[in-house]
Structure 1
Amino acid sequence: MSALPVVEKFLRTPEHRFSHITDFPYQPRYSEIGGLRIACIDEGPRDATPILLMHGEPTWSYLYRKMIPVLLAAGFRVIAPDLVGFGRSDKPANRKDYSYLNHVSWMKAWLLANDLRGLTLFCQDWGSLIGLRMAAEEPERFARIVLANGALPTGTMTVPKAFKIWRAFSRYSPWFPIGRIVKSGCVHGLSKAEIAAYDAPFPDRTYRIAARLFPGFVPTTPDDPERQRNEHAWDVFKRWDKPFLTLFSNRDPVTRGGYKAWMDLVPGAQGQPHAITRNAGHFLQEDKGEEVAAAIVRFVQQTGG
């Protein structure tokens, strides 16, 4: 495993920022990784089948509040971490501390520190770019994977116009309202309270560095520094014979159709009950969370979990 980056200065969102949130009753657990505190929700029996829910940009584990109850009711253990720079996790104060590789290193170290095994990974958006790397580098810890509205880009494919617009907005817009950005990725919108919950981790612009930078870390050119490592991960998945399911939505302009390569190239994806989540946008956890969670439950039960 690559050495963890040394972070000299970080920010920690005050807990009172989350006090107004009434629809997410789960208490965070913390792990110290490389001097940073990483938060996660960890609910359900310790010896139950663990479901690892990886969020993306610019959300946090709150994104999974509609899915967690369904998974717990099915008897699973549910683990939902906040990426470094998001949610209740610490946020490095210097831009130089952020990179795709650093985030994979932090979350892989978190995975190992908590000795998580037998995992069913559900990942979306940047939860996929990081989570799939974790699975490729520690495959013995993962029993199955569910991928939704995510990818593992190598910089050699065509970049969707919608992503180019989003990346430019994140770089240049003086206005960067996290909650409203999440709302724009939902077909059914969000309430004022839900928008406020997504804004909670970011008291001011100094806390939003990760949210600003992440779109620029997606490999979009052949000379990207993470191309080789992502291609290595693809080599792993081209031999992956454990169950692999895709649950992409039909109204995400960035990832629409992205499931095809996984269905074609991953041995474990053959014969699985892949589905298109209808009437859902990029954040299908918001638009169809209960439906997506139910599909995960069926998949785990059907594949011996």
Structure 2
Amino acid sequence: MQVLKTDLARFADIPDYPFAENWITIDLGEGFSGQMHYLDEGPKDAPPLLLFHGEPSWSFLYRKMIPLLVDAGFRCLAPDLIGFGKSDKPDDQAFYSYDRHISWQKQWRNAVVPQTAALFCQDWGGLLGLRMVGEEPDRFSCVVASNTFLPTGGGQASPGFLAWREFARVSPDFVIGDILQRATQTERSAAEVAAYNAPFPDEASKAGARAFPQLVPVEDDKPGVAANKAAWEGLSAFDKPFLTLFGEDDPVLGKAGPLLAGRIKGAEGMPHAMLSICGHFSQEDRPAELAQGMIETAKKAGFL
């Protein structure tokens, strides 16, 4: 296996992404290491907000929200998951696992922002972030979740997800920018589509993106089921403000918002919403509403 480094020249013309690069070395396992890229915007002594992206995007997804959140008083930290964005990319799909992604994300968090933080998560950002909240609830002040869930088997996946998983597994036409375009309700510009393609110059670089849908523990025999069930004990009891803002036009996870909110103590009485004209990548379609929801949730928590 090789750990690929994406040529940073591919990111030279990224629109609306004026953010400084930050890097940390991650122990990937089996003797491999890799560089994880992340954004760190706002005053270092401001309340930290973790922004976790999912599949197959990267921190570019948060470019519209970060200025609003920094203006509100947050320090915004947005990592590119290993295998995505500017971060290094193991080229073997079999090397990726749910537990390894958790380990890589925890290594980053423990080194960069060990103090209590707020969390915004979407898609696989929630499968990672919500698991972390459940395992270490005292390290989080509040949460906003969008188009995500913490699955525990049972075979209850939506037809939309099953179709997506199969597409990611076998389709020869796995063009990341086109996937983002299809999964939003607002039109992406050619430059934005190119920005989502930038991390993936060839098929080998897409190993992480191909692997992610296969790792979702929707069947009982999937790795991650037991750990997620254990994490749900802490997540269900999480009594700090927890808000769900889901895109109603998402065929994969659009109906999961009320299910998620109904299982978490801190979600009781919160102004949950299903956002119209909003697809799976809600940060593209409704960034202002998501940022405002995060701001109000943090204020309710006394964190901002």
Amino acid of the structure 2 residue aligned with 1:9: Q
Equivalent residue in structure 2 for 1:20, among 13, 19, 28: 13
Equivalent residue in structure 2 for 1:119, among 107, 117, 120: 117
Matched, 1:302 2:300: yes
How far is 1:301 from its partner?
Answer: 1.6
Amino acid of the structure 2 residue aligned with 1:49: P
1 CA distance for matches of 2:26 and 2:136? 18
Q: Deviations over 1:246-282 (max 9, x none)?
A: 1111111111221223322211111112122221000
1:1-305 alignment, distance < 5 Å = 9-34=2-27, 35-305=33-303
Query: Which stretch shows the higher mean deviation, 217-226 or 254-263?
Result: 254-263
Q: Report if aligned partners of 2:98, 2:223 keep a CA contact under 8 Å in 1.
A: no
- Give the secondary structure class of the aligned counterpart of 1:248: strand
Q: Report if aligned partners of 2:141, 2:301 keep a CA contact under 8 Å in 1.
A: no
1 CA distance for matches of 2:230 and 2:175? 36
How far is 1:100 from its partner?
Answer: 1.0
In structure 2, the gaps of 5 or more residues are 28-32
Q: Deviations over 1:6-63 (max 9, x none)?
A: xx63001111010011310001201111121111000101111111110000000000
**Coordinate RMSD, CA, aligned:** 1.2
TM-score in terms of structure 1 length = 0.95
Amino acid of the structure 2 residue aligned with 1:247: L
Q: Report if aligned partners of 2:133, 2:234 keep a CA contact under 8 Å in 1.
A: no
Change over 3 Å in CA distance of 1:148–1:244 after alignment to 2: same
2 CA distance for matches of 1:291 and 1:240? 24
Q: Deviations over 1:194-216 (max 9, x none)?
A: 00000001111110001111111
1 CA distance for matches of 2:155 and 2:118? 28
Number of aligned residues: 298
Identity of aligned residues (%): 46
Q: Report if aligned partners of 2:247, 2:254 keep a CA contact under 8 Å in 1.
A: yes
2 CA distance for matches of 1:78 and 1:283? 19
2 CA distance for matches of 1:259 and 1:170? 24
How far is 1:131 from its partner?
Answer: 1.1
Q: Report if aligned partners of 1:107, 1:134 keep a CA contact under 8 Å in 2.
A: no
Which position in structure 1 is the counterpart of 2:30? none
How far is 1:115 from its partner?
Answer: 3.8
Amino acid of the structure 1 residue aligned with 2:233: D
Amino acid of the structure 2 residue aligned with 1:11: L
Q: Report if aligned partners of 1:249, 1:256 keep a CA contact under 8 Å in 2.
A: yes
1 CA distance for matches of 2:9 and 2:253? 35
Amino acid of the structure 2 residue aligned with 1:171: R
TM-score in terms of structure 2 length = 0.95
1 CA distance for matches of 2:236 and 2:37? 32
Which structure 1 residue ranges, 4+ long, deviate > 4 Å from structure 2?
none
How far is 1:157 from its partner?
Answer: 4.6
In structure 1, the gaps of 5 or more residues are 1-7
Q: Report if aligned partners of 2:248, 2:278 keep a CA contact under 8 Å in 1.
A: yes
Amino acid of the structure 1 residue aligned with 2:98: Y
